[in-house]
Amino acid sequence: MNPITLTGSTPDGRTVEVYACGSCLLTAPGGQQAAERCCACIRCGEDKGAARRTYTTCATCAPIVADVDRRRRRAAAMARPVVEHDGPVYVDDLDRFFESMAEAADYLLDVEHDAAVEQPDDGWLIHPCTVAKAGTPDLTDTVLEAWADNYDDADLIDDLRPGLASALADAQRYAQSMAPDVWRPDLTRRVVAP
Ligand SMILES: [Zn+2]
Ligand SMILES: [Zn+2]
Give a three-class secondary structure readout of 26-79: CECCCCHHHHHHCCECCCCCCECHHHCCCCCCCCCHHHHHHHHHHHHHHHHHHC
The yes-or-no verdict on residue 49 having pLDDT over 60 is: yes
| Residue 73 CA, ligand 1 centroid: distance in Å | 30
| Residue 47 CA, ligand 2 centroid: distance in Å | 8
Is residue 116 a part of any domain in this protein? no
pLDDT of 121-168, one tens digit each? 889 999 999 999 999 999 999 999 999 999 999 899 989 999 999 999
What mean pLDDT do residues 175-179 have?
A: 96
Is residue 90 a part of any domain in this protein? no
Which ligand is closest to the CA of 49, given by its number?
1
The Cα–Cα gap between 70 and 156 comes to 56
DSSP structural state of residue 125 = -
| Residue 44 CA, ligand 1 centroid: distance in Å | 15
Task: Answer for the pair 103, 110: CB distance below 8 angstroms, yes or no.
Answer: no
Last residue of a domain, one of 35, 61, 87: 61
| Residue 37 CA, ligand 1 centroid: distance in Å | 8
Last residue of a domain, one of 31, 46, 61: 61
What mean pLDDT do residues 4-29 have?
A: 89
Is residue 166 a part of any domain in this protein? yes
The Cα–Cα gap between 124 and 110 comes to 13
Last residue of a domain, one of 44, 61, 78: 61
Is residue 115 a part of any domain in this protein? no
What mean pLDDT do residues 167-172 have?
A: 96
| Residue 58 CA, ligand 2 centroid: distance in Å | 4
pLDDT for 113: 85
| Residue 183 CA, ligand 2 centroid: distance in Å | 40
pLDDT for 187: 95
pLDDT of 66-115, one tens digit each? 999 999 999 999 999 999 999 999 999 999 999 999 999 999 999 988 88
- Name every residue whose Cβ is closer than 8 Å to that of residue 6 and which is 6 or more positions away in sequence: 17, 18, 19, 20, 27
| Residue 50 CA, ligand 1 centroid: distance in Å | 11
| Residue 71 CA, ligand 2 centroid: distance in Å | 19
Closest CA to 85 of 109, 102, 108: 102
Number of domains in the chain: 2
The Cα–Cα gap between 17 and 122 comes to 54
Total-model pTM: 0.65
| Residue 52 CA, ligand 1 centroid: distance in Å | 7
> Which structural domain, as residue segments, surrounds residue 16?
4-61
Interhelix angle 154-178/139-150, nearest 10 degrees = 140
| Residue 180 CA, ligand 1 centroid: distance in Å | 51
Which CA distances in Å does 107 have to 82, 104, 194? 20, 5, 13
Is residue 67 a part of any domain in this protein? no
| Residue 139 CA, ligand 2 centroid: distance in Å | 55
